[in-house]
Amino acid sequence: DYSKLSEHMKEDICPHVGYFFGMSDGGHGPTHKEVAYANHLSELEMFKWSKVKTFYDKIERFSKNFPVWNDEMYLENHRGCFSNHSEVKRRNRKYENLLISFEKLLTLTSLSYPNFQYPREKMESLWKITLKNQFHDVLPGSSIPEVYDEVWDDWNEIDGSVHSIVGNISEIFSNSPEGSVNKRDREILLFNPLSWERESRLFIPATIFDDGAILNSIGKPNYARLEIFNGTEKSYICQPIKAESENARNPHPPGWWTCIKINALSLVRAKLTLLSDSESRKIAKKDNLLISESEIANNLITIKVDQQNGAITEVRVEGINDGNNLLKGTNSNLTYGFLDTDERFPAWNLTPEYWNHPLDLPNNVNLHTRVAEVGPIFATLEISKLLGISPVSQTITLFKNDPEIYLSYFTNWKQKKAMLKILYNTNTNAETVTADGMYCSVIHKTNPNIPCDKARFEKICHKYFDISTPNKEWGLTLINEGKYAFDVEDGKIRLTLLRSCLYPPPAPEAWVNEERKINEELYLHTPPEYSELGPFECRYAILPHKGGALTDNEGNSNPIVKRKAEEFNSPVIIVPLEGGFNDKLSALNLHKPLIEIDAQNVYLGALKKKEWETQDTLIVRFVEGLGVSTQVNVRFSVIFLKKIKHIKAVDLIERESNSNFTWDQNDGILSFEIGEFEIISFEIVL
């Protein structure tokens, strides 16, 4: 209300006020009507036409009087955009990480094989498609249905291109496309795109075999053995799994799960061998994880489940919280629903004070728990129920020697105007919650007491949010692959799962109105009214850990949370080989790290071709991820070092900068200082 503007003005603090105008909504800019108003106002002594730069130059001398907001830029509106259209958000996360991983893999391939044609134009196209779909209304979930039809086509194009790139890389490293392929074993390459040694789960699809693996009567292949040729010749048992339901949004094909250790930024040769029926039966009978219809445990974690409603009542972890329960109450892992309707902006906004509008969705209707999978590598407990009118299936999975609790949520959602959240009630007594952001972390109070904190009741996260004890002794992290919204109160955290809200209407002048008439007349087709009805899935994990989200109780970097979140979102890439591995490339020692970083709070953000030039120039980008300033030493592998002519510091748009660093060409060590959450980039001329 501009009539009250004078009530908020104090000339001794700053006598200038900026009056910015424009229709916006996609970059429309000022309308002729607004310009006419501004011309009229400029006739008054207190109004003057000005450039934006002139305005900020004028107020600069008053800047010491201004309050400082050293926190996230949070719009106290349109909070529903954090969670609407979950599949759009999951795909956005997937492709962001996948393209970064493939830039690294393609760079490693080109360093290994000089004649390899780096698909520069294809990668640029895939990035532009991904960035296009981050444009407002697509990623926020506030577009009309027809837009998402086109986005689906974009996803198929990206998936097809990635499959083609994998095939091109396979040709480089394969002995011969015409080589004989044994139906009982298959050589593959495993690429770790992350800049630290990881020990994590790995899914190998049966589709690596040209005709697929032979499946038994329940749709599973036999057990398999994975041999790693990295100097240790270590082998891993691979536990089989059948294909997920075709009704799922992104179903896994039949294949195998295993857990492996793999070097940082390395390309490792491996061979998967199918075991005989007798060998499979022998493995299946021994050393299985402990599981029943109410309990599941590995050698690190024990979880108990209430068979009446599917709640997780206990999580006990060896060496954390003295072995006591990390949860409190009897409501963890339960789903809570709220009315989702906003009269003016249903796709953009949540129901005002939605917590006062709960839906009657009991968690104990038609509830069943069953042992879905059991074996020496992993075990899965499945919980099925009817939530209102919608069937829900939740799974809890533990892997051997793995500290993470893997969870999934599947439903064929049918109820309109609903928002779903899933709750975990922790024993942390936490005072703050830490949320991952884009090259940052944001810390919120669990019990806000000032208006600007209370207004952020629906919070934003990227790959994780963490709730730890006030003394940073231990904590619980919720890691996800495509969720961006959560809330917290005391020690209770809730992940926002889905919103089945109304789609926005098209603009009256939009051509789609005519298109809809034609579709209805010719094909009896009408667009959906509500988003998120139908198949829905969410895969996430809970990580119990020592220390806090960023640092431990002595202020030292604590990388486990950040690293496990990155591993969840950037899986090991599998490249099937035809006719075995090209032995001519064995001397390159690709199983050794391409780059080694000595600071555990610093990671490789990008390794790619330079955007603006076509010659052999690379960009390597380092990121500080835990809010701790650090001296960094980076060692390049021999294969990399031999090709480096010189290095210079550049900024984010790859212009030369004056950042200080030292480069030891003889030892292949790059040294520099990096600040809290700073990004530092270098240009490497080959």
State whether 218 and 120 are in the same domain. Answer: no
Lowest mean pLDDT, pick from 287-291, 423-427, 583-587? 583-587
* pLDDT of 616: 84
Structure tokens given for 18 = 């900026």
Q: What average pLDDT does this structure show over 555-570?
A: 98
- Average pLDDT for 145-169: 97
Find the mean pLDDT for residues 665-670: 96
Q: Are residues 494 and 630 in the same domain?
A: no
Q: How many other C-beta atoms are found inside a 10 Å radius of the C-beta of residue 64?
A: 7
Mean pLDDT of 49-58: 94
Helix 120-132 vs helix 86-112: crossing angle, to nearest 10? 160
Task: Give the C-alpha separation, 669 to 686, whole Å.
Answer: 16
Domain contains 582 = no
- Mean of pLDDT values over 81-97: 98
Nearest residue to 590 via CA among 600, 579, 581: 581
Tokens found for residue 576: 């099937």
Does the residue 525 lie in any domain?
Answer: no
Q: What stretch of H or E contains 29?
A: none
pLDDT of residue 180 exceeding 60, the answer is no
d(CA 61, CA 202): 58
Per-residue pLDDT, 315: 99
> Cα–Cα distance between 382 and 369 in angstroms, integer?
6
Parent domain of 87: 80-173
Taking 70 as the threshold, does the pLDDT of residue 642 lie above it? yes
Residue 364 within a domain: yes
Residues 351 and 222 in one domain: no
Of 68, 91, 107, the domain-final residue: 68
User: Which pLDDT band, with edges at 50, 70 and 90, does 615 fall under?
Assistant: confident
586 band by pLDDT with thresholds 50, 70 and 90:
confident
- pLDDT value at position 398? 99
Domain termination site, one of 46, 68, 90: 68
Q: Are residues 496 and 611 in the same domain?
A: no
Instruction: Give a yes or no: residue 518 inside a domain.
Output: no
Same domain, 440 and 480: yes
Domain count within the chain = 5
CB contact at 8 A, 269 and 371: no
Q: How confident is the model at residue 210 (pLDDT cuts 50, 70, 90)?
A: confident
Residue 514 lies in a domain: no
The confidence score (pLDDT) of residue 612 equals: 83
Between CA 311 and CA 315, with CA 312 as vertex, the angle to 5 degrees is 170
CA 220, CA 255: separation in Å to the nearest integer? 7
Q: What is the pLDDT of residue 114?
A: 84
According to DSSP, residue 447 is labeled: S
Do 355 and 241 share a domain, yes or no? no
Checking phi first, is residue 580 left (phi over 0); if not, alpha (psi -120 to 50) or beta? left
Distances in whole angstroms, Cα of residue 589 to Cα of each of 107, 177, 585, 593: 16, 23, 8, 9
Give pLDDT tens digits for 428-460: 999 999 999 999 999 999 999 999 999 999 999
- At 245, is the secondary structure helix, strand, or coil? coil
Residues 386 and 304 in one domain: yes
Asked if residue 189 and residue 52 are part of one domain, the reply reads no
Q: In what order do the strands lie in the sheet with 235-241?
A: 198-205, 255-262, 235-241, 224-229, 266-274, 185-192, 573-576
- Mean residue pLDDT of the chain comes to 94
What is the C-alpha to C-alpha distance for residues 164 and 162, in angstroms, rounded to an integer?
5
In a shared domain, residues 423 and 380: yes
pLDDT at residue 614 in the model = 76
Using the predicted structure, report yes or no on whether residue 647 has a pLDDT greater than 90. Answer: yes
Q: Which of 68, 97, 115 is the last residue of a domain?
A: 68
- Percent of the chain, pLDDT > 90? 86
User: Is the model's pLDDT at 181 over the cut of 70?
Assistant: no
Q: Which of 471, 287, 441 is nearest to 375 (CA)?
A: 287
**pLDDT value for 26:** 62
Residue 587 pLDDT class (50, 70, 90 cuts): low
CATH code, domain with 655? 2.60.40.2220
Starting at the earlier edge strand, list the strands of the sheet with 662-664: 595-597, 630-636, 669-674, 662-664
Q: 86 with 232, same domain?
A: no
Query: Two tokens at 537?
Result: 């899935």
DSSP state for residue 582 in the 8-state scheme: -
SS3 category, 51: coil
Residue 523 belongs to a domain: no
The H or E element that residue 213 is part of is: none
Inter-residue contact 96 to 130 (CB < 8 Å): yes
Q: Is residue 613 part of a domain?
A: yes
Question: CATH no. for residue 554?
Answer: 2.70.98.30
First-residue to last-residue Cα distance in the chain: 60
Task: Say if residue 278 is in the same domain as residue 305.
Answer: no
Rounded Cα gap, residues 88 and 102, in angstroms: 21
**pLDDT at 27 (0 to 100):** 64
Burial class (CB in 10 A: 0-12, 13-18, 19+), 549: buried
Q: Examine the domain organization and report whether 384 and 268 are in the same domain.
A: no
| CATH number reported for the structural domain that contains residue 90 in this entry | 1.20.1270.50
Checking if the pLDDT of 24 tops 80, the result is no
Q: Is residue 589 one of the residues assigned to a domain?
A: no
> In this structure, are residues 663 and 647 in contact, taking their beta carbons and an 8 Å threshold?
yes
